[in-house]
Amino acid sequence: MSHTAIVTGGGSGLGYATAMLLAEKGVQVVVVDIDEANGQKTVEDIEKKGVKAVFVKADVAKVEDVKQYVQVAKDTFGTIDYFFNNAGISGSGQPFLNTDVDEIEQIVGINMLGALYGMRFVAEEMVKNGGGSIVNTASSAGVIGQSTVVTYSATKHGIVGMTKSMVAEYAKDGLRVNAVAPGPTETPMVKKYFEANPQMKESAEQGIPQKRLGTPEEVAELVVFLLTSKAAYINGDVIRIDGGFTSTK
């Protein structure tokens, strides 16, 4: 029997890399993204591997859009086994006291409310069906403090708390919830941030003991491991994947 995964932010970066690795393992994928062109491309790339996939355009900050991608998953594949709760944005990188309130609301809406809504409605289906596995995308900024990302950091610390508290409440119902905390990684989101703040890239690379950024594929390997039964006794953990970036913090 095939397993089914929902991947939010599946059109690029960590979401794309994870969706492709899941497909390589025969997992059917519901690709969720606000970018229709990129999301459809992910589906096409998955189908080239002979695996079923479907795209759902959604703004994860809108609860009705979240309910829709859950419904599409149920209608198309029947059950939801895995959920990579990943969609997010970083913001402009401006000092916090220069940040526009609209930007604060946008980051919180996508990163925090979007993740909470996804958890609320996906986990509900999983618990009904005896359990499932969820991986949330936190960040190095979710385990340490970092400048120029105050709002982003607030949401990612929130992801860590959500992860742990869901396990405290629902592990008894067969739910596993973990989080990954990537350091600076070569994703379109991070590249855009570094283009706007070029001094931050050099600072980040110098601050990473391995002296390079991570790759989406490296993070995807960890996510897929945590999602699947090979990690059946890992629950409520937040695993850093950052080349040692936060090791001394």
Report whether 39 contacts 11 (CB < 8 A). Answer: yes
Report whether 112 contacts 159 (CB < 8 A). Answer: yes
Catalytic site residue from 16, 82, 117, 152: 152
SS3 letters for 1-31?
CCCEEEEECCCCHHHHHHHHHHHHCCCEEEE
What's the CA gap between 214 and 192, in Å, rounded? 15
Q: For residues 23, 2, 229 and 123, what is the CA-based torsion angle, rounded to 10 degrees?
A: 90
3 state DSSP class of 180 = strand
Known catalytic residue at 193: no
Q: Active-site residues: which are they?
A: 152
